[in-house]
């Protein structure tokens, strides 16, 4: 499926190609580095079909999309000329906190390879499970071939990081990868036979190190290379740069890495690992409680990927406690989703909770839970924190560690030891979050009290706004819409209509706050403050505006029943797109309830929804 039109709108709302320095993606987010964040239209991006949220943190402008982020990313980089000289120019002119810049480089360098790291980690977990149960021998060719697939990215990590760090800093990524590869070249690695072996370079003594699976040596080396690259390009004639800049860079950086940057990076990584293990040994329970409770908030801020280098350094030296501790936060989030699923009697909310459970349990991707449930029902935030603290504390008390990097999920359980202690910790986090959600509820307490008080006293709930139907057609519930964003009510509550007439009218008196260039979606804010999104068709953004003829523009004032857009139902269907039209109240949290008229069909301008306060 092509996401070209969606990508085009994202680029435009991020300030345009000229404002984008670089972009990478992780499991659920596009991570932009922008020249000027004020040029990005954050509000319109949040309201864009398929966007769950927008987060600014660590110098990055993060657009949370979901599981199809990699497909959107492919079209974004085709549309926007990102990286290369633009990245170099930004790194020269960028301003801000040095620590924030360092973190941005670390997070941005790991984001492109996190999928491969997580996939390889899951493969290693599967191998551990197969050998543990006796289904696969650890002596046969099958095991060694699959082990090679699981181990490769970890062993050759300096090469991959050399490429991604250089890309992030605007230098030649292949020279960066070559610097990492030099540390693993067989002639060089064969010099190290025993711990403490040394050699020399032009008479300068070199302490030999094992650089496989290391992180910090290549980070330091390629960061210095990026500075050298910019300097060499200023002093070398452009006709000679193609071969002379890479040659001089390798000639200078590789020896300096083996002499200084490499050993320092190894010692630095070991020191951090020693410090983490010191905290863990002094008070594993306290360390676990802090990490388990904090991980949800690190994920919300989009800075959880910053833990990756420390996890990998610990894995390379025998086992990592951090991943075991933060797993409690992941399973606490899953517990909230399970609690809402069990608690709610609303079919739509039950469907939403169920749709977020599977990605969390099987892949460790919890952004749909965070943005679709926890941020929507903020009352659950303390439940996640409490469950994460307790689960992390149990894991820390037991001294649980991970043998490789894999996203915390039900499938990655075999990589942890002691196994039973880890299982107890994540089950504790999941159970506590589930029980708290079921017992104390998840909706805002004041809204529940107002609603219950009015019902018990016989007072009518106040109808604040009447939303008429923008279309003539057949009514469907959102849960039946073939789009997880709308079906899960991540965008808000509402209803869907299968139109039979190709005209959409205004459902309220108000202002047209958003009209997408493609004409397929219109946002209106009523005079009473209701924010309504009319999205004509599913995935129709990909039509690029064909078969849509808007008659209003952003900022226009409209009255209830005024024509907004004409569209050709048959042509849209012939192009392979459903015309099912969600009508969403995007500021749902403002209302106690949103009631539909329990109709099977509706005419344009007939009453469709009632908003209750």
- Give the 3-state DSSP-derived string for 396-413, with helices as H, strands as E and coil as C: HHHCCEECCCCCCCHHHH
Summarised one tens digit per residue, pLDDT across range 436-446 is 999 988 875 54
Identify the three-state secondary structure at position 16. coil
CB 191 within 8 A of CB 199: yes
pLDDT score recorded for residue 92? 44
Summarised one tens digit per residue, pLDDT across range 157-179 is 899 999 989 988 888 999 999 99
pLDDT score recorded for residue 88? 45
Summarised one tens digit per residue, pLDDT across range 292-338 is 888 888 777 666 766 778 888 788 777 888 889 999 999 999 999 99
Does the pLDDT at position 126 exceed 60? yes
Partnered with residue 532 across adjacent β-strands are 524, 585
Buried/exposed 304-324: b ≥16 CB within 10 Å, e otherwise: bbbbbbbbbbbbbeebbbbbb
The distance from CA 351 to its chain's CA centroid, rounded to whole angstroms, is 22
pLDDT score recorded for residue 93? 44
Region 21-37: mean pLDDT is: 79
CB 20 within 8 A of CB 34: yes
CB 13 within 8 A of CB 47: no
Summarised one tens digit per residue, pLDDT across range 176-198 is 999 999 999 999 888 887 766 78
The model's confidence at residue 29, banded by pLDDT at 50, 70 and 90, is confident
Does the pLDDT at position 447 exceed 60? no
Summarised one tens digit per residue, pLDDT across range 267-287 is 887 787 777 777 777 788 898
pLDDT score recorded for residue 510? 92
- Rounded percentage of the chain residues whose pLDDT exceeds 90: 28
Q: Give the angle subtended at the CA of 256 by the CAs of 190 and 202, to the nearest 5°.
A: 70
Is the link from the previous residue into 584 a cis peptide, with omega within 30 of 0? Answer: no
Strands (E), 92-136: none
CB 467 within 8 A of CB 587: no
pLDDT score recorded for residue 317? 77
**Looking at per-residue confidence, does 323 or 486 come out higher?**
323
Which sequence positions are flagged as catalytic? 26, 535
pLDDT score recorded for residue 54? 83
**Looking at per-residue confidence, does 78 or 400 come out higher?**
400
Strands (E), 381-539: 401-402, 416-417, 463-468, 473-476, 493-499, 503-505, 510-515, 521-526, 531-535
Q: What's the chain's length in residues?
A: 613
Query: In angstroms, rounded to a whole number, what is the distance separating the alpha carbons of residues 113 and 41?
Result: 28
Query: In angstroms, rounded to a whole number, what is the distance separating the alpha carbons of residues 205 and 183?
Result: 16
Alpha helix locations (H) across 317-399? 321-343, 347-363, 367-369, 381-398
Number of helices (H) and strands (E) in the chain: give both, helices first: 23, 22
């Amino acid at each position: 499926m092509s996401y070209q039109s969606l990508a085009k709108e994202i680029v435009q709302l991020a300030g345009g190609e000229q404002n984008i320095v670089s972009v990478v993606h992780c499991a659920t987010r596009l991570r932009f580095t922008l020249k000027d964040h004020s040029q990005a239209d954050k509000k319109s991006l949040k309201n864009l079909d398929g966007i769950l949220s927008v987060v600014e943190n660590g110098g990055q402008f993060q657009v949370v999309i979901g599981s199809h982020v990699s497909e959107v990313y492919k079209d974004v980089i085709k549309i926007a000329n990102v990286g290369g000289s633009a990245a170099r120019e930004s790194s020269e002119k960028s301003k801000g906190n040095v620590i924030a810049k360092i973190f941005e480089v670390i997070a941005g360098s790991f984001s492109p390879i996190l999928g491969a790291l997580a996939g390889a980690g899951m493969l290693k977990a599967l191998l551990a499970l197969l050998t543990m149960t006796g289904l696969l021998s650890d002596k046969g060719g099958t095991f060694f071939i699959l082990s090679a697939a699981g181990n490769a990215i970890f062993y050759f990590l300096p090469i991959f990081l050399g490429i991604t760090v250089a890309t992030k800093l605007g230098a030649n990524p292949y020279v960066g990868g070559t610097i990492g590869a030099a540390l693993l070249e067989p002639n060089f690695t064969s010099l190290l036979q025993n711990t403490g072996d040394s050699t020399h370079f032009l008479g300068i003594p070199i302490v030999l190190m094992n650089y496989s699976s290391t992180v910090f040596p290549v980070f330091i080396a390629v960061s210095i290379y990026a500075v050298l690259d910019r300097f060499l390009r200023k002093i070398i004639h452009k006709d000679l740069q193609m071969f002379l800049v890479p040659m001089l860079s390798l000639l200078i950086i590789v020896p300096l890495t083996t002499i200084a940057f490499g050993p320092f990076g190894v010692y630095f990584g070991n020191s951090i690992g020693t410090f983490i293990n010191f905290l863990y040994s002094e008070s594993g329970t306290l360390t676990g409680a802090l990490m388990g409770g904090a991980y949800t908030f690190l994920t919300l801020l989009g800075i959880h990927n910053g833990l990756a280098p420390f996890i990998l350094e610990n894995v390379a030296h025998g086992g990592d406690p951090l991943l075991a501790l933060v797993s409690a936060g992941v399973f606490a989030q899953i517990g909230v989703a399970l609690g809402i699923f069990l608690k709610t009697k609303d079919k739509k909310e039950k469907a939403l909770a169920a749709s977020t459970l599977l990605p969390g349990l099987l892949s460790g991707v919890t952004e749909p839970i965070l943005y679709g449930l926890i941020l929507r029902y903020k009352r659950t935030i303390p439940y996640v924190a409490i469950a994460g603290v307790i689960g992390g504390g149990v894991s820390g008390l037991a001294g649980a560690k991970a043998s490789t990097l894999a996203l915390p999920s039900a499938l990655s359980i075999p990589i942890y030891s002691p196994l039973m202690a880890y299982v107890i910790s994540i089950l504790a986090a999941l159970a506590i979050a589930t029980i708290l959600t079921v017992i104390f509820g998840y909706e805002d307490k004041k809204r529940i009290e107002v609603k219950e008080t009015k019902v018990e006293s016989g007072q009518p709930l106040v109808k604040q706004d009447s939303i008429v139907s923008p279309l003539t057609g057949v009514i469907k519930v959102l849960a039946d819409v073939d789009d997880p964003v709308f079906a899960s009510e991540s965008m808000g509550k509402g209803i869907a209509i299968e139109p039979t007439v190709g005209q959409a009218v205004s459902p309220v008196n108000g202002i047209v706050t958003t009209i997408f260039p493609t004409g397929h979606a219109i946002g209106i804010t009523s005079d009473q403050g209701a924010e309504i999104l009319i999205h004509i068709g599913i995935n129709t953004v990909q039509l690029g505006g064909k078969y849509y003829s808007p008659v209003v523009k952003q900022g226009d004032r409209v009255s209830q029943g005024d024509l907004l857009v004409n569209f050709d139902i048959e042509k849209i269907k012939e192009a392979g797109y459903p015309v099912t039209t969600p009508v969403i109240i995007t500021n749902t949290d403002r209302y106690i309830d949103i009631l539909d008229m329990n109709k099977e069909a509706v005419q344009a301008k007939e009453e469709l929804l009632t908003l209750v306060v």
